[in-house]
């Protein structure tokens, strides 16, 4: 099986396209942002607590029921979400938002306490 020169030209054009360079720029920007955060945050556990309490509760508790209701909730007739689905999904969303708010407040308090104590 041989590779034709036209195939190489197509691969090269794909690699040099504006979209590919946009993806490379986004990747480089995210790596740079990660380096800046690692340099700027002296105590990573406090930063991880803040990000975890804010983002992971959204990812774990809020987004799944919202996607479920978005997919099945508004379907009329057979196949739509039943009333108990609405109750369970609403309960998950409310609990997730409460956990997110209390966890984020606690993480911010821990960060403030850390810096008030001199950062040791």
Domain boundaries, the chain: 1-40, 43-120
Q: What pLDDT sits at residue 64?
A: 95
Q: Are the CB atoms for 67 and 33 separated by under 8 Å?
A: no
Q: What pLDDT sits at residue 20?
A: 72
Q: What pLDDT sits at residue 95?
A: 95
Render pLDDT for 48-82 as a digit per residue (tens, 0 to 9).
898 999 999 999 999 999 999 888 877 666 667 78
Q: What pLDDT sits at residue 103?
A: 95
**With a cut of 50, which residues of the chain have pLDDT below it?**
none
Spell out a b/e string for 65-76, using b for 16 or more CB atoms within 10 Å of the CB, else e: bbeebeeebeee
Q: What is the pTM of this model?
A: 0.64
Cβ neighbourhood burial of 27 (10 Å; 0-12, 13-18, 19+): exposed
Q: What pLDDT sits at residue 120?
A: 62
Q: What pLDDT sits at residue 56?
A: 92
Q: What pLDDT sits at residue 15?
A: 67
Q: What pLDDT sits at residue 77?
A: 62
């Amino acid at each position: 099986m041989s590779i034709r020169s036209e195939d190489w030209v197509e691969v090269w054009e794909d690699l040099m396209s504006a979209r590919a360079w946009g993806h490379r720029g986004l990747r480089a920007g995210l790596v740079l942002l990660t380096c800046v955060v690692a340099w700027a945050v002296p105590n990573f556990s406090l930063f991880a607590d803040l990000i975890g309490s804010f983002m992971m509760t959204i990812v774990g508790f809020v987004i799944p029921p919202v996607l479920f209701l978005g997919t099945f909730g508004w379907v009329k007739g057979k196949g739509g979400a039943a009333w108990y689905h609405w109750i369970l999904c609403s309960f998950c969303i409310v609990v997730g938002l409460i956990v997110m708010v209390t966890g984020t407040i606690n993480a911010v308090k821990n960060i403030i306490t850390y810096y008030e104590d001199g950062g040791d």
